[in-house]
Every structure is written in C-alpha cells, then in structure tokens.
Amino acid sequence: MELFEAIRNRRSICKVAPDPIDREVIEQLLESATWAPNHHYTEPWKFFVLTGDGRRPLGKVLAEISMETMEDLKEVEVQSILKKKEEKAFRAPVIIAVAAIPSTDPKVEYIEEIGAVNAAIQNLLLAAHALGLGAIWRTGKPCYHPRMKELFGLADKDEMLGFIYLGYPVDVQKPGKRVSFQEKTVWVNVDTSYQ
C-alpha cells in the first residue's frame, strides 16, 4: 500500500470478526511499531498482546473500575453494567495494550517518551491498515486508572497509553474527513509573532 494512501485512508474500525490473527502478522505489527522515532534511542514502549482468555483480566479490571461510579444503582443494573464492561475485552480477537516506560536518565524529557510511544502506536495502526486489518486505539479514564497500572505491572512513572483492538473488518469503512491543514497552519517567514 502506498504511504500517502495509507495515511489518508486509515480509519478506526470498531466491528471486527472473531477470527484469530496469525502470530506472524502480529509480530509484523509490533516490529513496525518499534521503528518509531525516539529521542536518545530510549525505545520507551512496552507491548502486551492479549488473546483468548488472556483478555479476561482486562475485562475484569474494566468492570472493577466502573464499579467506583455505581453506588446509586440497583444490584440488577450493576450486574448488567459489569457484564457489559467485562465483555469489552472480547470485542476483538487481539488487543495490544501499549505502555510507555520512560527512561530515568535525567537528560531524557518525560513528554518526549510519551510522544515516542504515541508514534509507535501510529506506526502499528498504519501497518495494521496496510495488512488489511481493522484496528481502533481505545483510551479513556479506565486506561489511566491506577488499577490498570497494577494489572500490567507498571511502575508509578510508567503510563498505559491505550489498547489497540485488532481483527479483520466486517463492515466497509466510511470515508474520513479532516479540516484542511491550511486552517491549522501558520507560515512564518519574517520576524513576527507566531499567532
């Protein structure tokens, strides 16, 4: 797939088939992710590939986190919501949880470590698209919850940056749209303010 075509046509795909993805394909995605740019060559990413029942602990933690906001609900409602939260981990046959493990070297900027892992996620998403897979990068408050760090054995300085749900798409993807770069760009060619 041509690079510019891949960048313009990649979309988040929510609905995927339950069919397994070959390990070699997943490894190809992970290899692509590791070629993201990163200052000081720290390679601050860590990947957790969840398949089969390996997705179950994620579902349980998603349910546990959601319980924190359900004190006013009836037991029947709570159980229904918890079941739905647990099932979220089974919406795709493969989930790749991506964490940032920032370097402790004092010359390394924390924000650059986060940026490098985000770039790795983009590489992974583009590679998935090029290989005909559907993918969506899921984040949200549960992703950043301390309980999620505990599940994946992350230290306080580490960050879970998202869950990439992967599978073979079942629907035709819709065309995307973006605001023109011209509306988001300031050209600076003289000594002036950057507004």
Q: Which residues contact 113 (CB under 8 A, 6 or more apart)?
A: 38, 42, 44, 100, 102, 103
State the Cα–Cα distance between residues 145 and 65, nearest whole angstrom. Answer: 8
3-class state of residue 125 by DSSP: helix
Q: Which residues contact 195 (CB under 8 A, 6 or more apart)?
A: 186
Annotated binding-site members for FMN? 10-12, 39, 137-139
Annotated binding-site members? 10-12, 39, 137-139
Q: How many Cβ atoms are within 10 Å of 20's Cβ, its own excluded?
A: 14
How many residues are present in the chain?
195
State the Cα–Cα distance between residues 24 and 52, nearest whole angstrom. Answer: 17
State the Cα–Cα distance between residues 33 and 45, nearest whole angstrom. Answer: 9
How much of the chain is in helix, strand and coil states, percent to nearest 5? Answer: 45, 15, 40
- Residue linked to tokens 């609900």: 73
The helix (H) or strand (E) run that includes residue 31 is helix 23-33
